[in-house]
Amino acid sequence: MRNFSILLAATTWLSLSATLFGQGSAPRPKSPVVHNLLMQREEVLSAIQDNDAHLLSLLRLVEQSKHLAARARQAGNGAEAATAAQALENAEQGIELVQHKLARERAILWQINSALDQAREWPPDLVAVHPAATPIGMTGTVKITNAQGHAIALHGQGFKLQPGMTIDLPGRHSFMRLQLPSGARVDLGPHTRLRYEAGKTGRIYDLLQGELHLNERAKAYLYKKFGSRFSIRTPQVAVAVRGTEFTISTNSRRSVFTVLSGEIALRVNGRKAPIILRRMQWLRIPTHGAIPSPAAISGNHMQVWWQP
């Protein structure tokens, strides 16, 4: 796998260099090399996402097995305790295996991104791969309005995000999955309201209420190249996105943050220093009152509402 990764990085970079800089000519309008690299990147990202989901399920199984084993020992049920102990051992072995897979996949991903990131000039079709915020999944009632309050019609080609645009999911069965121009994926749950704004330092997504899941891993090079950094705000907190995956649930009383991969920096209203929330941690921030310390995610706390 290591030799394959090195060969992949070398060949893709040589092809990319020949395409973009070869013979002193301008880049071709369409770059199949860049497109193929992006397709490879999406395949690796998909594998990483699947393995991350598997890892989460194994972590939940570990917690459940520990609980069952402890309960069985207290009840003096040796057979049930042995079964739970075996399930725990299998889950821990599975976690180790999945972690090795993730390490290999992220190494390949890093090399693909490096090949893309070293280019001095990006051809137009790189942006055209994700020309707009594209709905790739939707159920129930979804309403999109512009800054003037006029309805925006949804269609298969997506829609351009404009300052002041608001996405409303008023129903209890409403759901929307968006692919942003950068490639990041955003899932919005029932009773969610999200407003898009253009700030001085980047794009701002105001989560006014509801639930949001963001998968923004391995997209940082696109933000860097196109100056499209963004942050997410809730009524209580501003979230600095650092190439990660996390969820937010918010209302007027509190915001709950759960980090699945990477880390996020939370800037709480009236507090100077940010709170760093890392992988497999969660935190509930109330509108008023003391803020607790970040806690580890347990199986009971984690609800993967954005997955079918």
DSSP per-residue letters across 119-180: -SS--HHHHHTS-SBEEEEEES--EEE-TTS-B----TT-B---TT-EEEE-STT-EEEEE-
Number of domains forming the structure of the chain? 2
Q: Is the pTM of this model over 0.85?
A: no
User: Could you report how far apart the first and last alpha carbons of the chain are, in Å?
Assistant: 32
The reported pLDDT for the residue numbered 210 is 95
Domain boundary, last residue among 75, 108, 125? 125
pLDDT at residue 22 tops 50: no
Of 89, 106, 125, the residue at which a domain comes to its end is 125
98 and 147 part of one domain: no
Domain of residue 141, CATH code: 2.60.120.1440
User: Over the stretch 206-240, which tens digit does the pLDDT of each residue have?
Assistant: 999 999 998 875 444 444 444 456 788 998 899 88
User: What range does the domain containing 193 cover?
Assistant: 132-296
pLDDT tens column, 61-94: 889 889 888 888 888 888 888 888 888 888 888 8
Determine, yes or no, domain membership for 147.
yes
More confident call, 251 vs 244: 251
